Every structure is written in C-alpha cells, then in structure tokens.
Homo-oligomer: A and B are copies of this chain.
Amino acid sequence: MRIALDAMGSDICPVPDVEGAILAAREYGETILIVGDEKLIKPEIAKYDSTGLKIEIVHAAEAISMDDKPGVVGKSKPNSSMHVGMNLVKSKDADAFVTAGNTGAAMTIATLFTLRRIEKVKRPALSSIIRVMNGRTIIMLDIGANTDSKPEWLLQFALMGQIYAQKALGLQNPKVALLSNGEEETKGSQLIHDATEIIRASKLNFIGNIEPRDMLEGNADVIVSDGFVGNIAIKTLEAMGSTLFKLIRSEIKSDPIATVGGLLAQRAFRRVYKQVDPFEIGGAPLLGVDGVVIIGHGRSNAKAIKNAIGQARMAVKGEVIQSISKGLKDFPE
C-alpha cells in the first residue's frame, strides 16, 4: 500500500508531518509518499534513522496555508502539495492522501479540482471519529462541509457513514442515528423530520434520533447531522473537554495538597486524556470524494499524523471507496 502524506499540512509543518510519516512507515510497514517542498523535507527526514523504511519524496512547488481562502487556492496554487498528493491518488500512484492542512482547501481541491465526487454523491461530507464511553469508536458526519443540508444529503451521509464504520472502523452492523434535540419523533427540526422519514424507508440500520448524551454513551455508531449542527456539536465537545482539563489543572495547582494528589493521580489522568485525545485518532475521512482522503487537525503532532495515516490504511484495506460507490448504485435517488 502507498499512502501520500501532505508534508505542508500542519500549523508547524513540515516538522510533525515528516516525523509522523517516519513513525507510520516504521509501524505499518507501508510506503509513505511525503509530498511537499523537497528542500524542506529532506533535512527533516535526515533527523531520523529511516533505514529500511519505505519512504519517498514527491516534490510539490506550492503549499497552502491556513490563511489561504479555500475558494481561491484550487486555481491559484495548482502545484500545491494537496493538488499533487490527491492527483497521486487519482492516477493510482497512491492509495490514499492524508493532510493536517486547511480543511476547506482540502475539500475544495478534492471535490472540484482533483478526485471529484464518487458517481451519484450529492455532497461530500466531513467526518470526525471520536471515542466514547466503553472505548467504542463512532463516526460523526457531516461536521462542517455543508450547511442547510437537504434530507437526501443526510440519507447519503448515513449510507457513507455506515459503510465507513463497518469497513474501516470494523464495527459489526453499525447503528445509524440522527443527532437531534430529543429521541421522540415529535422533536427535531423540519430537516430531522424529513430525513427521518427517508432514512427509515431505506435499508440502513437506522435506530432513530439521538441526543448528545446518548451519543457519548455509545448508543449509536454513526451520528448523522447537517454540517452546521455537527460542527457546533463537535466543537462544543472539544471546547468543553479542554475547558474542564484547564479548570482541573488550575484548581489542582492552586492548592499544595491537591498538587500532591494530582501527581499521584497523574497516570489516571493520562488514561482519561488518552481516551478523549483527538490525536489518538489522528484524522477522519472526507467522504464522498473518489479516493481516500483523511483530514487531521492543524495542531497535529507526529503521533496524530501517524494515527491519521493509520486511519487511511484502514480505509484502503476496507475498500471504503468501492463499497460507497457500490452502495450508492443500489440506492434510491
């Protein structure tokens, strides 16, 4: 398997990106194509012992920054590492592309300039993969690609999410739910009502509407929402998590006895943190484009990059793209 990695993705690229590529090549034994400015990449690789690792550099003359406007870069930077990396997937020179860069740019370049949509896909969706109670892993989508979604888009998100959960996350018969303000079918917005109707009529394993609490309990595996709502939900989760950790740290530090207690409990805290740390997952797929694209956080460290490459590997092994393509063919319009 050959996985292309955007060396110019993370906020402090190419440092964690290249280190993550080395870690991934070592852990998974796959070929990693490091895409970006070779003058910057070579000295980074030289920092590590890469003997025996399958690493190749693919030069890309341009790089997209977090400040670049997604609507512009598709045309203005045609030689960006994103263009080059995604075109490697398109030409079958790579099986997947991983980036911790500008999410909007990655979406635009994938959807409109390189890979384009899988046939019959109405709208690609951004996803997030999170760990919930009991160590379960779930996928949420859309978390930001589309606002003001139509019911039939949510139906496709549900299908793509169910396939990803099954094929890439390895969940048996994953349960699909719509994120709503209550379980009862009287709850929800008009979009939720309309989407409930068509998803219920499909062959998907749909369990109905779910509230955030039940989502975190792991009562469903695929959480479907409009991108505006999903984005607010995922950002609220992240914000509340980091706020609480910040509060706990500051209160423990403000009191000498608690400081000793905090040190003794440190390993327990680390285990908790590991469960909620997004870097343990690394990234999640942009679903609906015709190739595996995994997007990680701009703040990714090397571990996050390595794990995002691991996500890509599972998606390729699970033949997610082929399954989505086939799933959509059997699907009502």
What is A's interface to B at a CB cutoff of 8 Å? 132-133, 144, 147-148, 179-181, 188-190, 192, 211-213, 215-216, 226-229, 231-233, 235-244, 246-248, 251-252, 254-255, 257-258, 260-269, 271-272, 275-276
The complex is assembled from copies of this chain, and their number is: 2
**Bound-complex Cα distance A246 to B241 (A):** 13
CB distance from A247 to the nearest CB of B (A): 5
Residues of chain B within 8 A of A246, CB atoms compared: 133
Per DSSP, chain A at the interface is helix
CB distance from A74 to the nearest CB of B (A): 16
Report yes or no: A235 in contact with B211, Cβ–Cβ below 8 A: yes
User: Could you say which of B181, B255, B266 contacts A144, with CB atoms under 8 Å apart?
Assistant: B181
User: Could you say which of B233, B240, B260, B264 contacts A241, with CB atoms under 8 Å apart?
Assistant: B240
**Bound-complex Cα distance A179 to B233 (A):** 11
**Bound-complex Cα distance A238 to B229 (A):** 16
**Bound-complex Cα distance A263 to B262 (A):** 10
Closest to A190 in B: B148
Report yes or no: B260 in contact with A189, Cβ–Cβ below 8 A: no
Report yes or no: A243 in contact with B190, Cβ–Cβ below 8 A: no
CB distance from A195 to the nearest CB of B (A): 13
Residues of chain B within 8 A of A268, CB atoms compared: 248, 251-252, 254-255, 258, 261-262
Report yes or no: B232 in contact with A247, Cβ–Cβ below 8 A: no
**Bound-complex Cα distance A216 to B238 (A):** 11
Residues of chain B within 8 A of A260, CB atoms compared: 261, 264
